[in-house]
Structure 1
Amino acid sequence: MFQNTIILITGGTGSWGHELVKKLLPLQPKEIRIFSRNEFAQVKMKRAFSDNPYLKFVIGDVRDFEAVNEAVKNVDYIFHLSALKHVPICEDQPSEALKTNVYGTQNIIKASLNQKVKKVIDVSTDKAVEPINFYGLTKAIGEKLIIQANQLSSHTHFVCIRGGNVIGTNGSVIPFFQEQIANHHTVPLTSREMTRFFLTVSQAIDLLLYASEQAIGGEIFVMKMKACRIIDLIYVLERHFAVKDIVINEIGIRPGEKLHEMLVSNAESRNTYKFDKNYYVILPGNASEEVKRRYGNLPKVIFKRYQSNDELMTYSEIEQILMKANFITSQALFN
């Protein structure tokens, strides 16, 4: 699919972008364009990949249609990763989140149609499901825009891929917990009941590439992800990094936070199918005949919703996923 093609990655200097580039380069694309507004992050990434000639770095902002349209020229595939993601920042500055997450997505759609891109892959989040914070609201709108855009052209196909928290990404809570445990011997916790989905960045990118190849456009692929209580995650990290007993300070849920995240809502579950062992696929209510034919024979899910407190990892399973993420190196602390 990607051999001898031109690929654009928006927001490509982040953790997802780095891992995505690592896995795309062996597939022999003609060119990978990294589109972002952070000059220093681009310089660092260029050095990290030893000035690889297949990488092209383009300064620009998804809010700027002219910059986006220019970057998209001759592009075959777009991975749309660019977003403002930090929930409290989006709560405090909603107009900025709107510009990047909604208007930026509109610019990607318009430019892709203009330049006849083959496929646009939008990376979404569990926070877009029944959203209660502004970040989630903007990503939910972004999903709707992307899925609706699939009806605008027979040439350009649009798909959403939805996942939860990815270990090792910028802003991940795990390095923060490690630093608090090791250096301050205290950890702030919003609630002892809070649960979250987790996946390693390598696993997430593998699933992203697979779904990108399988999707025909007009659908939402949902990554199956393991989940855990945040208090259990802290306990595993304490066993690995604490030099003395730690204190957990329960601070209460912050504005815009949920106790449990959701990857498939009650309303979506009636149009959700089991794609394979790693994915569910959600069809829109107005799915095209092509989409219905592609997925209509798959088994429908039997759950009413897919939520992070449905099935929780044990301490040992949390430890294993942290090892896969290269965050810890030892194991056998738990039976």
Structure 2
Amino acid sequence: MNIDRSVIDGKAILVTGGSGSFGKRFISTILERFEPARVIVYSRDELKQFEMQTSELFKSHSDTMRYFLGDVRDEPRLTRAMEGVDIVVHAAALKQVPAAEYNPFEAVKTNIMGAQNVVNAAILQGVSRVVALSTDKAAAPINLYGATKLASDKIFVAANTHKGERDITFSVVRYGNVLGSRGSVVPFFREHASRGYLPITDKRMTRFNITLQQGVDFVLNCLGRQWGGELFVPKIPSYHVTDVAMAVAPDAEQREVGIRPGEKLHEEMITSTDSMSTIEFEDYYVILPSYQVWDVDEFIQNSSDKPGKRCEYGFEYNSGTNEHFLSVDELREMIEKEL
């Protein structure tokens, strides 16, 4: 599905975490493909905002760009930033698993209270569309980061039932590891390759994989598809962590060091418990909201290019049992292209 230009053209768009990896790529993409009236970067990192302002692409769109220093923990600042905004993409989060385990209250303040603040500000300012980014770690979470993102997902889905008569839709996008992103396994392996060995937590480990651009494109498509309350999950490939090691440093020794606290052998994006409320479409899944806010049969027939179908009870979307795994050569090509 190609998003209708009218969803973006002429609209004011705010991106929380707008100076991060996703935010920059998302904003770059809409500047290159569409004609938004205004794009607002909302983030707390003044250095990253300065670097954006001085880069060629963003300088060439200086009339369109706005830069707000602020934290999603600060509801009054968010509310001010959303004045006159049509679309909000919520990408701000504390994402590092070990940091969240060691600083649990900070993760709660940003990932849960921040989500509530985004919802409140969007409703107050009459925003039309909100999409929040989630993570595979929010499905059956075993670490605090995943638990806070699950709570965030629930907040955004439930917002569709307490918005009153306001014309606003809230949806969530959940996907897996972004290849080569900050803190991911590829930079970690590259750092260790010069030492002649790569630390492997467990050689059985698998992960879902999506590129940064694929993530951006999926979010854009979901903005055009949303009815409100959906949790969108793309159909994406998996990889074996040992194959990533081979793609990065084929001659390096692979040393198994043991799984870390809060890690799973295989990631899930849809659990078997969710199967009864999951709809499968051609290239993505939708987990339906707990409270019915529109006709599900009509949604199945009309919310995508082709009708969807209900998943059978017991279905699960797991990186270890995925039908599509990337080969070493495919991984190497993707790494070279993305980094």
Same fold judged by TM-score > 0.5? Answer: yes
The reply on whether 1:132 has 2:142 as its aligned counterpart is yes
> Identity of aligned pairs, percent?
35
C-alpha distance in 1, partners of 2:286/2:11?
26
**Residue aligned with 2:116, SS:** helix
Counterpart contact for 2:15–2:89, Cα < 8 Å: yes
Question: Per-residue CA shift, 1:153-181, capped at 9, x if unaligned?
Answer: 24111000100011232222212211211
**Residue aligned with 1:270, SS:** helix
Give the structure 2 partner of residue 11 of structure 1.
17
Question: Aligned AA for 2:178?
Answer: V
**Residue aligned with 1:122, SS:** strand
The answer for unaligned runs of 5 or more in structure 1 is 240-244, 328-335
The reply on whether 1:201 has 2:212 as its aligned counterpart is yes
Bigger Cα displacement from structure 2, 314-323 vs 189-198: 314-323
The reply on whether 1:224 has 2:235 as its aligned counterpart is yes
Q: Using a 3 Å threshold, how does the CA distance of structure 1 residues 93 and 288 change in structure 2: closer, same or farther? A: same
Give the structure 1 partner of residue 42 of structure 2.
35
**Residue aligned with 1:289, SS:** coil
Give the deviation of 1:261 after TM superposition: 0.3
Bigger Cα displacement from structure 2, 198-207 vs 41-50: 41-50
Give the structure 2 partner of residue 330 of structure 1.
none
Bigger Cα displacement from structure 2, 307-316 vs 63-72: 307-316
Counterpart contact for 2:73–2:117, Cα < 8 Å: yes
Give the deviation of 1:285 after TM superposition: 3.0
Give the structure 2 partner of residue 315 of structure 1.
328
Counterpart contact for 2:211–2:338, Cα < 8 Å: no
Give the deviation of 1:275 after TM superposition: 2.1
Counterpart contact for 1:218–1:284, Cα < 8 Å: yes
Give the structure 2 partner of residue 246 of structure 1.
252
Bigger Cα displacement from structure 2, 314-323 vs 47-56: 314-323
C-alpha distance in 1, partners of 2:318/2:105?
29
The reply on whether 1:237 has 2:252 as its aligned counterpart is no
Question: Aligned AA for 2:34?
Answer: L
Counterpart contact for 2:282–2:308, Cα < 8 Å: no
Bigger Cα displacement from structure 2, 45-54 vs 204-213: 45-54
Which aligned pairs between 1:141-290 and structure 2 lie closer than 5 A?
Answer: 141-153=151-163, 154-181=166-193, 183-239=194-250, 245-277=251-283, 279-290=284-295
Question: Aligned AA for 1:265?
Answer: T
C-alpha distance in 1, partners of 2:117/2:125?
12
Question: Aligned AA for 1:178?
Answer: R
C-alpha distance in 1, partners of 2:58/2:261?
42
Question: Per-residue CA shift, 1:158-208, capped at 9, x if unaligned?
Answer: 000100011232222212211211x22221111001111111111111111
Give the structure 2 partner of residue 93 of structure 1.
103
TM-score by length of 1: 0.91
Segments of 4+ in structure 1 off by > 3 A? none
RMSD: 1.5
The answer for unaligned runs of 5 or more in structure 2 is 1-6, 302-306
C-alpha distance in 1, partners of 2:58/2:274?
44
Q: Using a 3 Å threshold, how does the CA distance of structure 1 residues 226 and 124 change in structure 2: closer, same or farther? A: same
C-alpha distance in 1, partners of 2:198/2:170?
41
Give the deviation of 1:291 after TM superposition: 4.9
Counterpart contact for 2:180–2:335, Cα < 8 Å: no
TM-score by length of 2: 0.90
**Residue aligned with 2:39, SS:** strand
Give the deviation of 1:75 after TM superposition: 0.5
Give the deviation of 1:293 after TM superposition: 2.4
C-alpha distance in 1, partners of 2:198/2:308?
45
**Residue aligned with 1:75, SS:** coil
Q: Using a 3 Å threshold, how does the CA distance of structure 1 residues 124 and 72 change in structure 2: closer, same or farther? A: same
C-alpha distance in 2, partners of 1:100/1:291?
33
Counterpart contact for 2:13–2:38, Cα < 8 Å: yes
Counterpart contact for 1:199–1:321, Cα < 8 Å: no
